A and B are shown apart, each in its own frame.
Chain A
């Protein structure tokens, strides 16, 4: 039993935190996150250079780590500094390539790890509510390859990604888990139209429409019709990443709120001297520690071969951070009072991110129900 990270991981986390503390202040972040592209290409390149993307992949796949605690540490640091850059897409698509790619497909990992190509998972659809097995987009055999038709919803950086990983139905009914296939599609393929927009928590996303998009036979990733299991596997990495990101953001929100309680005066005394607020702050602390335990459990389970054990730990973590992250966001705003609802306050942007994490890859209700179904 050992809860310490090894030295390599601590060094990476230190380097990452140092860089972000020095070079990624709130104004800089907000300018990029709420700007045209929704991120800073310069920052993304620098994160790749430090090894933040590489740490998400195994050495055999051109990375520097790739284990649960690596993903945990990187995303906790990203959350702590409210990083808007598209590392989640790199993780999801990159791990899919690593898990199921042919040698030629795996070759694309190099640009993803280097940070020179953006990648995005295009799975959710306008009629979806986080289900992995519900896919209306279709892919039918056409010539030597496939023709894809359909619509994908809220794809992170979907109009800027060079590489899209698209789920499409090659057989079965709309909600059959069997018959889903995954395709690697260039972002600029003919027939894709994108409607891009900013996100409320910063960053960027897009609605993608696929109208007769023609791809080659080599676009199919993994076995035809067997994509749902792979989807679950890579979304699992995403759940760990988002849970860790949430933890990092919670820690920061908690710290900022504590500082405010110490310095803000009302009735001639620091508001932190009021027991009503002290107790709520104590509850925030212990909830954050519960979330940390959930993330540690998920990181330990990510490579567990027993599916139920692994997926339960991941859903438990996402459920926990969904519930706790929302609580921390609301409490942090409330304890800040009026300033808490202003754009000017960095904490307000953390609060938005904390709540929005619950809207990615399944919210607390989704993951509680999933955990229960896995337990049955």
Chain B
């Protein structure tokens, strides 16, 4: 039993920290810390910086341009990035499609797509959810019918995050309508720049428009864009979702949010004293901090158990539930700390380019919007209720 990081791990942390100090643009970090919206250029710029260092696809195997880091190193990297205000990496190519191609793609697909993910040549989006298939993903209805050397795809996808930027979509489609739900699904790669693909923004409750509906009408997909075997897509889809949940605890993001909350609470006044000294508010802050410290250790325990290089199994469901609830509580406290100044909503103030005098404390502009936006944490990637189903089935055996 030893909770200390090894000297090698500490040295690695110092290396990451030094790199971030020299290469993470301060204006970008400031945006992230302020909770302001990022532009496509912000995200592409950060990817390019990491790619140049060879740290972009840090969870891929070395032979494909990854780092070969241990689970603990990945954790340290995530942690340091979050604390420094590094933007969350756009996960669609890097964390979702990449690992699926590496495990299930053929040589040609790997050669063609993986370098393009690293180079930022493609912006990928995820074609999973449909209007009638959310948590019950296997009930998806989008069809792909084979015609000569291609499939013809028809249907509708939704909740497509950053689909407005995407030129490619990895997509679950039904290739066998007779088979039962999970067994007639295939995993295909769709070129978004073709007739029949229409992307419509969905405005979220905070006023943002990062998710979309994607309508697919007689869209052509070359057969070479089928990943793995036809009708085996559900296996790949599940693999992707497990991968998506590594790091799902978001401990680094929560630690950064806690720092922000403490800074706010030491400045904002109630009854003539800093909010941090208000017994009720201070109690809520203390409770979430203790919960987060426990969570950080739970997270490390799960990571230590997969040090061999695997991905966590159903334990990641545990991390997802607890991690998202903690992060949402922190965002909730930041919102509450703003008092009446949580109310004003100035759209332009969601962006770093806003140069007017802030209304109320400077964090107020994004506090309520971020709180509402991040209600999604407990819904996406398999809602927390689905995660409880997974725990119930896979760990508890009920």
Contact = CB atoms under 8 A, between A and B. Distances in A.
A289 B249 CA distance: 14
By CB atoms of chain A within 10 A, which of B5, B387, B391 has the most? B391
Contact of B388 (A5, A278, A375): A278
Contact of B398 (A6, A281, A300): A281
Interface stretch (B112-120, B129-137, B292-300): B292-300
Contact of A293 (B282, B297, B392, B397): B297
A2 interface: yes
B290 A293 contact: no
A9 B2 CA distance: 14
Interface string A358-376: 0000000000100110010
A320 interface: yes
A32 interface: no
By CB atoms of chain B within 10 A, which of A270, A273, A275, A290 has the most? A290
B41 interface: no
Interface string A8-29: 0100000000000000000000
B1 interface: yes
Contact of B9 (A1, A3, A278, A375): A1
B388 A282 contact: yes
Interface in B259-301: 282-283, 286-287, 290-291, 293-298, 300-301
A251 to B, nearest CB: 13
Interface in B324-349: none
Range for the number of chain A residues in contact with chain B:
35 or more
Contacts of B2: 1-2
Contacts of A283: 388
Interface in A337-376: 368, 371-372, 375
A368 B287 contact: yes
Interface string A239-282: 00000000000000000001001100000001011010011011
A282 B396 contact: yes
A276 to B, nearest CB: 11
B6 A1 contact: yes
Range for the number of chain B residues in contact with chain A:
35 or more
Contacts of A375: 286
A256 B328 CA distance: 32
B112 to A, nearest CB: 38
Contacts of A282: 321, 387-388, 391-392, 395-396
Contacts of B391: 282, 285-286
Nearest to A291: B294
Given A281-B396, A286-B391, A297 B294 contact: yes
Contacts of B389: 275, 278-279
B11 interface: no
Contact of B3 (A9, A258, A300): A300
Contacts of A270: 398
A368 B284 CA distance: 10
Given A262-B398, A285-B395, A319 B388 contact: no
Given A281-B392, A282-B391, A296-B3, A372 B283 contact: yes
Nearest to A70: B1
B179 interface: no
A261 B318 contact: no
B396 A1 contact: no
A282 B396 CA distance: 8
B290 A371 contact: yes
A119 interface: no
A297 B297 contact: yes
B359 interface: no
Contacts of A273: 398
A262 B385 CA distance: 20
B49 interface: no
B369 to A, nearest CB: 29
Contacts of A5: 1
Interface string B368-398: 0000000000000000010111011001111
A283 B322 CA distance: 9
Interface string A55-77: 00000000000000100000000
B392 A279 contact: yes
B294 A294 contact: yes
B110 to A, nearest CB: 33
A299 interface: yes
B317 to A, nearest CB: 8
A199 B397 CA distance: 37
A279 B383 CA distance: 13
B356 interface: no
Contact of A296 (B297, B388, B392): B297
B4 interface: yes
Contacts of A279: 385, 388-389, 392
Contacts of A42: none
A323 to B, nearest CB: 9
Nearest to B385: A279
B290 A272 contact: no
Contact of B290 (A9, A69, A289, A319): A319
Contacts of B397: 262
Given A1-B4, A286-B322, A368 B294 contact: no
B1 A293 contact: no
B1 A300 contact: yes
Nearest to B321: A286
Contacts of A9: 1
Interface in B99-132: none
Contacts of B322: 286, 290
B105 to A, nearest CB: 33
Contacts of B6: 1
Nearest to B315: A289
Contacts of B305: 3
B304 interface: yes
A293 B391 CA distance: 18
6 contacts: A1-B3, A5-B1, A282-B392, A286-B391, A289-B301, A294-B294
Closest 3 CB pairs of A and B: A293-B297, A278-B392, A282-B388
Given A279-B392, A296-B301, A297-B293, 9 more contacts: A2-B2, A270-B398, A275-B392, A293-B294, A293-B301, A294-B297, A296-B297, A297-B294, A368-B286
Interface of B: 1-6, 9, 72, 282-283, 286-287, 290-291, 293-298, 300-301, 304-305, 318, 321-322, 385, 387-389, 391-392, 395-398
